[in-house]
Structure 1
């Protein structure tokens, strides 16, 4: 099996928790031939989508920057691999958008891409929740300060977030009595030039922002509840949250049962739902994480489940 993984530079991987690292480890354990490239290595040559890809292998050390080895780069068509994994981290900026278009073209040429370029474009990680209104807290999307002020006046305690961030960056909690309402709204909307999302604050964040992983529409039986630090609103691990693996609740399973088949039908092999209390707050499709944390605390081999699903998709 020949697998190309489009990812950020491997020297930047935090291998003790990186999910792409876990995927690569499991694929290597099965004897798959692994290749690596970055999104910047994608190109079109004579009408064919190709990449300057390098053979990838593991070394016998876990030392920083020495745990992997890369071979000589070669210009290879994406359709010549058995599968292509898109694992480049957000933000979903203009360059990322261009990469998704190249991935779509590659699919037309016969490549098997996961998650597919079209699905990555269709499912903005913040806006995608609006497809499932019965599972979300009160939400508004706008670039107008007056709309945000009205939403704040109605709900009293809200979360503001940019539409292209990750790891909790740029997220603000705002109450009616905050002295910085105007400054925060002006900053996030770039004085009315940028669209943002506002959601009613969910007090259950104190119990964790749960990452529920869906693999080909089926939920992993345990999730990772990311608990905010004292005095912090954000549970994201990148913002200092503590990860606690736990079995899915009945509500988690209800959400997964409703969303999973639709997301899989859209071609999304791997999705990370963010669930706070009873509500879905984000649908992560670009580079969902938390494999290693769930595996280490639950004993569920998430990477093996994912590679099993990938192998089934390839065979199909």
Structure 2
């Protein structure tokens, strides 16, 4: 197969990214990989979309992610027809381009929508990703699985929400990633609240969430494939992200430590409450962020840490992913 990964920009890719590991596994299983930046599409007409891509043919000599990226970045771009591509996998982070290239994520989704209409296999579903472009997507799921939430740009609204909680709250950008501008506000820190809201609101809406005491133990990143848990040899594709002392953010690249997750019956019941909708929405690969009995966030654009889960559990979830794709794509084009 020809598997194209739609990313922000090649020079922003890192060896530890889940996308890089996916690409390496695909190459070793005999597939051609293509990297497409958000600025690389060409609209020819309503039946033809091209793209300037960096292409690598099947290569089993590449031993690790670093070698793959080194080879990829040396590849000159070539223009190809997207009608010759079997899979377009959307693996970009809209937040990365929010300031310098605000047009890029929306154009990436628009081209992906056109390719879906032209009969290409696109994951995750671009029509639904538009609806899931920020953290409000979570509000489409059952109330009992999500924390109490307010979304606003108004300080008084946040203050009212905090008074109703009578406890700490978490404030963060509605459209954000990577733990940037995430704050915990306690009742004795109200003197900082207005300034904090103003800082976050510079970039758009603010989301306030109730503070869950279980958050002191970090959060669980739990992966779903087509709405179902990924499990190999009884080991679920999940990890516990434990923040550093004095830190509220559980992001790995913010210094959190990845540990083996304790997946309970309660966890699986919680996940089951969102599975059907995620499947209906065409969310092929999803990462849920779970604290206690609540889902704090649904990551649908480019959920990371799947490689870390593989390493912790000593099983290969990425291989599982590529094999599933190999079975799914041929049946898609038969219909």
Q: Using structure 1 for the length normalisation, give the TM-score.
A: 0.92
Q: Shift of residue 56 of structure 1? A: 2.0
Whether the 8 Å contact between 1:125 and 1:282 is mirrored in structure 2 is no
CA contact (8 A) 1:80 1:111 kept: no
Answering whether residue 155 of structure 2 is matched by residue 151 of structure 1, we say no
User: In terms of mean alpha carbon deviation, does 196-205 or 91-100 score higher?
Assistant: 91-100
Compared with structure 1, are the counterparts of its residues 194 and 4 closer, same or farther at alpha carbon in structure 2 (3 Å cutoff)? closer
More displaced stretch, 293-302 vs 241-250: 241-250
Tell me whether 64-73 or 212-221 shows the greater mean CA deviation.
64-73
1:82 Cα deviation from its structure 2 partner: 0.9
Cα gap change, 1:78 to 1:70, in 2 (>3 Å) = farther
Of 136, 139, 142, which aligns to 2:149?
Answer: 139
1:83 counterpart (68, 82, 87): 87
Separation in structure 2 between the aligned mates of residue 315 and residue 163 of structure 1, nearest angstrom: 38
Q: Which structure carries more helix by proportion?
A: 2
* Bigger RCO of structures 1 and 2 (CA < 8 A, at least 6 apart): 1
Given the alignment of the two structures, is residue 102 of structure 1 paired with residue 111 of structure 2, yes or no?
yes
Partner of 2:28: 29
Residues 267 and 70 of structure 1, relative CA distance in 2, 3 Å threshold: farther
* Unaligned ranges ≥5, structure 2: 231-235
- Paired with 2:90 and 2:204, the residues of 1 have a C-alpha distance of 27
Q: After superposition, give the CA deviation of every residue in 1:122-157 in whole Å (9 maximum; x if it has no partner).
A: 113411111121201111111221110001111121
Aligned equivalents of 1:213 and 1:301: distance in 2? 13
The DSSP-based 3-state class of the residue aligned with 1:40 is coil
Residue 43 of structure 1 deviates from its aligned partner by 2.4
Check 1:265–1:82 CA distance in 2 against 1; reply closer, same or farther (3 A cut): same
Contact 1:189 1:195 in 2 (8 A): yes
In the other structure, the counterpart of 2:137 is 128
TM-score (norm 2): 0.87
Any idea what SS the aligned residue of 2:20 has?
helix
Deviation, 1:74, is 2.5
Task: Return structure 1 stretches of 4+ with deviation > 3 angstroms.
Answer: 8-14, 57-65, 67-72
Match of 1:281 among 291, 296, 310: 296
Partner residue, 2:127: 118
User: What CA distance in whole angstroms lies between the structure 1 residues aligned with 2:13 and 2:110?
Assistant: 26
Alignment match, 2:225: 215
What is residue 56 of structure 2 aligned with on the other side?
Answer: 56
Secondary structure of 1:205's aligned partner? helix
DSSP-derived class of the 1:214 partner: strand
Is the CA contact 2:219–2:291 (under 8 Å) kept in the aligned structure 1? yes
**Any gaps of 5 or more consecutive residues in structure 1?**
none
Shift in CA distance, 140/69, structure 1 to aligned 2, threshold 3 Å: closer
Helix, strand or coil at the partner of 1:211? strand
Counterpart for residue 181 of structure 2: 170
The 8 Å contact of residues 222 and 248 in structure 1, kept in 2 or not, is answered as no
1:161-187 CA deviation, whole Å, 9 max, x = no partner?
111111110111112221211111122
Asked if residue 243 in structure 1 is aligned to residue 264 in structure 2, the reply is no
1:288-303 equivalent positions in 2, closer than 5 A: 288-303=303-318
Q: Which residue of 1 aligns with 2:233?
A: none
Cα separation, 2, equivalents of 1:36 and 1:298: 29
CA 1:69–1:236 in 2, change beyond 3 Å: closer, same or farther? Answer: closer
